[in-house]
């Protein structure tokens, strides 16, 4: 655990939280893959019921974030990002575990996610207990037009 690491969760489109998420997003997603969202996309999702954004910080500086959207008793991890300088220190795992705890408190029984097939975060998802569901060929389009497969994962939180 990182000394001084705090997690703040927001259920509405709180401007400072979205600004912090965008700060991490710009640094955390490789532009080659075209996975980063725009502020307008993030703001649009944050207006949807059942959506929450968790920001990991040290001394008010954003290190990472998790964005989750729920419908009834299921949820989807839409985005998980950690600033490159903070990777490998447990920030992503802390955000993921916290997102699962938040989901359980809200009565959610399963979480789904999709991830680029070559993303190293897959190891984290499997470590936490997510199970492979299927592959979506050509799901992501990189900025250069190249297509990348997505892998779908799910965790049943009732086990």
Residue 85: both structure tokens together: 């300088």
Distance between CA atoms of 114 and 9, rounded to whole angstroms? Answer: 22
Distance between CA atoms of 4 and 139, rounded to whole angstroms? Answer: 38
Active site residue 93: no
| Sign (positive or negative) of CA dihedral 84, 90, 93, 97 | negative
* Catalytic member of 74, 93, 114, 139: 114
* Catalytic member of 10, 125, 140, 148: 125
The residues that are catalytic are 114, 125
């Amino acid at each position: 655990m990182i000394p001084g690491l705090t997690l703040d969760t927001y259920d509405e489109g709180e401007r400072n939280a979205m600004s912090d998420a965008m700060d991490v997003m710009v640094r955390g997603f490789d532009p080659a893959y075209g996975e980063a969202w725009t502020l307008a996309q993030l703001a649009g999702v944050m207006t949807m019921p059942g959506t929450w954004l968790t920001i990991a910080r040290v001394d008010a500086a954003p290190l990472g974030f998790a964005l989750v959207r729920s419908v009834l008793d299921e949820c989807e991890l839409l985005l998980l990002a950690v600033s490159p300088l903070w990777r490998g220190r447990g920030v992503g795992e802390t955000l993921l575990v916290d997102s699962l705890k938040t989901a359980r408190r809200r009565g959610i029984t399963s979480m789904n996610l999709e991830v680029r097939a070559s993303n190293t975060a897959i190891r984290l998802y499997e470590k936490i207990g997510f199970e492979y569901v299927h592959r979506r060929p050509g799901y992501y389009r990189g900025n250069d037009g190249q297509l990348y497969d997505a892998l779908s994962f799910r965790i049943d939180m009732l086990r």
